[in-house]
Amino acid sequence: MVGVVCAPERAAIVAETTGLAVNAFDSFGDDVVGVLAHAVTVPEEALALKPNHALVDRESGQILALRTHGRALEGWPSEHHRVELSGRVISQAIALLTRPWSVRTHRDMAMTHDFAMLTGEGPGTIPRMSQFPGIAMIADCSAGRCPYMHPSAKVGIGSILDCEAGSIVIDEGAVVRPGAILIGPCYVGKHSTVLERATIRPQTAIGPWCKVNGEVGGTIFQGYSNKSHDGYLGDSWVGEWVNLGAGTTSSNLLNTYGEIMARATPGGKHEQTGLQFLGAIVGDHIKTAICTRIMTGSVLHTGSMFATTAAVQGCVEGFIWATDEGSKPYRINKFLEVGKVAMKRRGKELTPVQEAVLRELSERGGRGGMSVSEG
């Protein structure tokens, strides 16, 4: 079986979101492999572990994965967790999501991994796209660079699918409107819409039920988010239920072409990201007004609304209402009222579990989680 281990206070939201068994230690069995959830992919070394052995990070000594009995996972990966081990395997390099901008650091590797699963063979893979009248396709299928399209997806006349640098995957129920340009590698998720004349550049992954327009490159959309108008968004990460107003544009490169510094939490220290290109990290339920500008390396925590003529920049706490008159707390009851209206438009309802998490985040300024759905 596949299950999840998490902090008890997050068990309800994780169970509701994933549909998996959560903290069911006695049900996990006597021989189970546990892997840290912020590992981008499951390390091959983890799957090859012997019983009662752990995979350990070379630098920090942190246990990245272990093979043991289910009950021994209780409390992991807390630093107070103790489990008897017969041996340890030192990890050379494991891709971990440790900072908000880690999603950009490991983006290309993760997309390569996912594309291999989506376009391979077996259940759940997407069939290769045949030629369609009125659609320009640039592909080299012999080299593995092809468009793949689910039978229920639609691509409008006048669209261009450019797979010269990588494959394009258009998933179940997705719609590419006439005149859109898709440049691989890129992914259009289930029931999402790429609107007319949009330009979707490489290394972009659009999650389910999104609407995307304008120029987008190297950006990950989690799901249920809208960027329905013109404006540039590059090397960014967008959470769920985000709405970016018309003309919203992000910067992803400094004028100096230097390494971008960023802060993970408001008031925290500036850190080296190791990145030359980094746009914005946008938490769940963020809203921006028309022509909003977002500066390089900005980190916007859950639940805020931005309607300022000055550019949004730095690390901004969650649940604020920002205008030219200043910033003030976004009243949680009003926030929830707006959120429920937005979700109803997509046939969804805010569950009591989700509401409880949002209220908790609001009390601490939205810190401690960029995405409600991921706990």
Average pLDDT over residues 314-336: 96
pLDDT at 366 over 70: no
Q: Which residues of 167-197 are buried (b: 16+ CB within 10 A; e: fewer)?
A: bbbbbebbbbbeebbbbbbbbbbbbbbbbee
pLDDT in tens, 91-112: 777 888 999 999 999 999 999 9
pLDDT at 212 over 90: yes
Alpha helices by DSSP H, 72-228: 102-105, 107-118
Confidence band for 79, pLDDT divided at 50, 70 and 90: low
Q: What is the dihedral of CA 241, 42, 13, 239, to 10 degrees?
A: -10
Which tokens hold the place of 255? 């004028």
Quickly tell me which residue has 């920049």 as its tokens.
313
Cis amide prior to 77 (ω within 30 degrees):
yes
Q: Which pLDDT value is given to residue 44? A: 84
Which tokens hold the place of 184? 């691989």
pLDDT in tens, 2-19: 899 998 999 999 999 999
* Burial class of 199 by CB neighbour count within 10 A (0 to 12, 13 to 18, 19+): middle
What CA–CA distance (Å, rounded) separates 45 from 43? Answer: 5
Which tokens hold the place of 341? 């209206």
Q: What is the largest CA-CA distance in the chain?
A: 63
> All domains of the chain, ordered by start, with CATH?
3-91 (no CATH), 102-374 (2.160.10.10)
Confidence band for 361, pLDDT divided at 50, 70 and 90: very high
pLDDT at 370 over 60: no
pLDDT at 119 over 70: yes
What backbone torsions phi and psi does residue 131 show, to the nearest 5 degrees? -65, 140
Amino acid at 276: Q
Contact 216, 140 (CB under 8 A): no
pLDDT in tens, 267-323: 999 999 999 999 999 999 999 999 999 999 999 999 999 999 999 999 999 999 999
Q: Which pLDDT value is given to residue 76? A: 79
Q: Which pLDDT value is given to residue 87? A: 81
What CA–CA distance (Å, rounded) separates 95 from 215? Answer: 29
